[in-house]
Amino acid sequence: MAGETDLGRLLAGMAPRLEGQDWGYAVATGPLPEGLDWFALVRETEGLTVIAPIAALRRAGLAAEGPMARITLTVHSALEAVGLTAAVSGALAKAGISANMVAGFHHDHIFLPAQDAERAMAVLRGLSHA
């Protein structure tokens, strides 16, 4: 199934879902600890960025930044869609909320400070109905 590319339909149908407020970012400079249930990995020159539940990162002995909330935009956005990331991050920036966007094949995910989760949801619902 092809993803949506029309920005208006993407915004109207993004249906943000809060996926918990216990996420963290950490850097692994060696092999990943066995059994770590991570959400995303990003290989950088400085090391491997790991996004996972913050408690799991700490149990694995990794210095975790967080806690972060994760919001999933449940609309199936096409990888070639233009403007969704800009619209979402722009609306959150206008509200003074930091947004770290991670795109998967089907959905976009936003990681942000846990204390801003409910406010971010309100901003995103407003953007969806604009």
Q: Which domain holds residue 71?
A: 7-129
Q: What is the pLDDT along the chain (130 residues), one digit of tens a residue?
A: 678 888 889 988 999 999 988 999 999 988 898 889 999 999 999 899 999 999 999 999 999 999 999 999 999 998 889 999 999 999 999 999 999 999 999 999 999 999 999 999 999 999 998 7
Residue 77: phi and psi, rounded to 5, are -90, 135
CATH of the domain at 30: 3.30.2130.10
| HSE of 67, CA atoms in CB hemisphere, 13 A | 15
Establish if 116 belongs to a structural domain: yes
Identify whether 1 is part of a domain. no
Bridge partners of residue 110, in order along the sequence: 71, 101
Q: What is the pTM of this model?
A: 0.93
Total domains in the chain come to 1
For 8, phi then psi, to 5°, come to: -60, -45
H or E element at residue 55: helix 54-59
Distances in whole angstroms, Cα of residue 127 to Cα of each of 46, 84, 95: 36, 11, 12
